[in-house]
Amino acid sequence: MSSLDDEKAIQLVQLQARVGANSDDDVLSGYFDDAIQAVLDFTGQSQPNKALLIAAKRLAVVYWNQQADEGETQRTEGGVSRTFEVTGIPSSIRSSLMPYRVAKTRSLR
């Protein structure tokens, strides 16, 4: 097992503890894998490092918390109105990923 696999396993265990899931919860593991891919896509990186795995863990918590709210953009219950961010990675996580984005060069034609 590589150190990257070790770090991913550590972050997954911490994620499970944070949301109170058991270690054989495939849904949470799937959210974590989805979050890692979203982070890699956003940054343009091919492999995650520790900082990207931590950001992916935070994003997986967002995915986990939005399970019952999937597809909703706004809800009002008991006089309390709630609006959901529906586009990709929340800005608080996106800002922590900005230093890891890979710049792409383009020609000036």
For 78-100, how does the pLDDT look when each residue is reduced to its tens digit (9 = 90+)? 888 877 666 689 989 999 999 99
What is the C-alpha to C-alpha distance for residues 48 and 11, in angstroms, rounded to an integer?
Answer: 12
Tokens at residue 3, please?
């150190």
* Residue 91 Cα distances to 4, 29, 32, 58, 84, angstroms: 26, 23, 18, 12, 13
pTM of the model: 0.79
The pLDDT-based confidence of 4 (bands split at 50, 70, 90) is: confident
What's the average model confidence in pLDDT over 5-20? 89
Q: Is 74 in contact with 31 (CB distance < 8 Å)?
A: no
Residue 76 scores a pLDDT above 80: yes
